Chain A
């Protein structure tokens, strides 16, 4: 079954690419391992940056400078400039399709200050910014009749003799069938890899880097894999995110003695390191938003209150919230240019699985929603243009076949336990601060585990909705990505942003 453009992943980047490709006149198929509205984008809370100056002076130039500073020389100036210039247009477009942004008293889109920003630049919708943007994009895709196939796990890209990517293979999770789809161009929008840190990550369990691992197997170049952002404030026991907007609104960080110890609105890498240093001194760390008052907390931070109560049994209106930094966002990914093109012909990438060189060594809060939309649009437009320039042809792929996987008699090693071990290993050794010795230790262990893969596997032999199998496939991708991350970290001997060598 052929379409002009095949988009893998249906989060903000994938849906934006789909809408843009469709607007270019291309036929579009979107395939996701979940459902569109369940993707990681719904978890983005803080806002989307655009220098609108709605609540105080701001400029596109300031947005560019803040972004470049946070990137520590690892961003491409042209790409950053492009993104920051597009930002006001993207926000205006979101407004025109019905995104429910919060408003100021003078009827403008409300903006707040996030870490590393010189102005109140993040446009927000309470603390549901990503959710509301994602759902509005989904509604637009419904309006445009964009075809979405749900619950298909992306296995591998298809490449012809000339090296051109012409489609992809999927496991239909519901039926256990192997499905192949052919396209003029393929756009990966499969999300990041924070879940290599397993339970030490704020992310959805789906953020396992499937697209990056598959692209790597097909020969795509990866860039900046060592740059992993640790969010300063996740709930201590559950790693559930407490949005940066809690500090943006005026929240403090306190140690066990009740002392503030850092500038709460510094970029995330700095704040996370400050917390990490306190924790290593034996301190417990808390987020304090009590002084903001119940009304403001209910209005601006309702999710935070709900989650702190549910997972830590504390009410932030009256109590301190225990926190620690955990893996939150991965700057690295498939290297792309401003058009979303990878080094493989026919293959594009956008969103967190890609690296369009705008976040560099550390992403600013509010720039991720912006990036997925600006570069999701680019990938959609240029992916469509390339596909439409090709000669039309029918699909030459075989019919659907059953997915075959080896059901093993003996499974001596439990991959769930090892997944947890890898998460802790990486949190310790490839974490907020890293030494060469730690990195070598992690690399050695990952190589050992790779070699032991034949001793692991799913216990469930069913072909129908076998999440055990899917999680094992994800785990294999996790190991591949771990190898890329630790190898890239070893190559970079000088600290930069989120990659901090001691």
Chain B
């Protein structure tokens, strides 16, 4: 079988003979047996550490959970500086977690949560920060300051948590380059290995923002009433 790996500007062809293998197994085999200069990141091999996200034929996957096909083209994630080969520098992307204040604002006394309460954000707390969504997001082409899908999902995780007592502060933080900048294109949902929909979380954050009196700035500029929480693109 052959695959193509983007290195610098060009795709380099590699042959391998592994059957039914994951992309990570193939990359490991190439690195240890053919070409020790190939650079990529990996860790747990079981889809939970978020190290090995990359693009195959243009679509974001985790290398450890993707089964290689004939003539696949492998590229690094988008929207981040390529350090080398398939490795990107995630430092800047992860600062959006801090900018979005993705944490519990009120470190409060323990409250008892029902199973129903816990189910509100159980899915969002499955996020492994692999940044597949971040790479797939088209908003970065126009706004590099966009807080982005994983950080906003994280905000929703905390804002929807019964233990959070100051959801308004959370909403305030995500008004600029935040919830209203999303185009609701749903690309993030399609690539998430954990089946999280940041688009859906962003829609819920818009609703909650509206409840606290925030609105889509593009509408408020015209003196319009409430923002668009009908789910339609806000531009």
Contact = CB atoms under 8 A, between A and B. Distances in A.
A174 B84 CA distance: 9
Interface in A260-306: 303, 306
A374 to B, nearest CB: 18
A82 to B, nearest CB: 22
A416 B49 contact: no
A303 B103 contact: no
Given A131-B128, A465-B84, A204 B49 contact: yes
A466 B37 CA distance: 7
Contact of A310 (B22, B31, B42, B118): B22
Interface stretch (B87-95, B202-210, B225-233): B87-95
B65 A240 contact: no
A126 B126 CA distance: 10
A131 B161 CA distance: 18
Interface string B20-59: 1010000000011100110111111111111100000000
Given A43-B44, A98-B161, A108-B112, A142 B87 contact: no
B183 to A, nearest CB: 27
B122 A126 contact: yes
A482 to B, nearest CB: 19
B117 interface: yes
B5 to A, nearest CB: 14
Contact of B109 (A43, A96, A205): A96
B83 A241 contact: no
Contacts of A42: 44, 48-50, 128
B199 interface: no
A95 B110 contact: yes
Contact of B36 (A104, A458, A464): A458
Interface of chain B, main secondary structure: loop
Contacts of A92: 110
Contacts of B46: 43, 240-241, 303, 307
A313 B21 CA distance: 11
Contacts of A138: 97
Interface in A77-115: 92, 95-98, 100-105, 107-108
Interface in B146-186: 154, 157-158, 161, 163-164
A40 B164 CA distance: 29
A311 B32 CA distance: 21
B48 A34 contact: no
B102 interface: yes
Q: How large is the interface on A (under 10, 10 to 19, 20 to 34, 35 or more residues)?
A: 35 or more
B127 interface: yes
A103 B117 contact: yes
B161 A206 contact: no
Given A142-B102, A206-B43, A37 B50 contact: yes
A143 to B, nearest CB: 4
Contacts of A150: 90-91
Contacts of A125: 122, 125
Interface residues of B, number: 59
B28 to A, nearest CB: 9
Contacts of A145: 98
A139 B151 CA distance: 11
Contacts of B110: 92, 95-96
A132 interface: yes
Given A98-B103, A240-B45, A465-B87, A459 B114 contact: no
A145 B95 CA distance: 11
Contact of B37 (A40, A95, A459): A459
Interface string B73-92: 00000000001110101110
A96 B107 contact: yes
Contact of B154 (A105, A139, A303): A139
- Name which of B20, B32, B89 has the most chain A CB atoms within 10 A of its CB: B32
Given A95-B110, A103-B117, A174 B89 contact: yes
A107 B112 contact: yes
A128 B48 contact: yes
A107 B114 contact: yes
A462 interface: yes
A310 B67 CA distance: 8
Contacts of A204: 43-45, 49
A98 B94 CA distance: 20
B91 A98 contact: no
A57 interface: no
Contacts of A102: 115, 118
A140 interface: yes
Nearest to B64: A310
B1 interface: no
Given A43-B44, A174-B83, A206-B43, A107 B113 contact: yes
A92 to B, nearest CB: 5
Interface string B97-136: 1100111100111101111011001100111110000000
B97 to A, nearest CB: 5
B131 to A, nearest CB: 10
Contacts of A307: 46-47
12 contacts: A34-B43, A37-B50, A39-B49, A42-B44, A98-B157, A102-B115, A135-B125, A142-B98, A150-B91, A204-B43, A459-B36, A468-B37
Query: Which 10 pairs of residues, A with B, have the shortest CB-CB distance?
Result: A416-B32, A465-B84, A100-B125, A98-B104, A139-B103, A143-B103, A107-B112, A459-B36, A460-B37, A204-B43
Given A37-B129, A38-B49, A174-B83, 12 more contacts: A34-B51, A40-B44, A42-B50, A100-B118, A103-B113, A104-B115, A107-B112, A150-B91, A240-B46, A310-B65, A460-B36, A464-B84
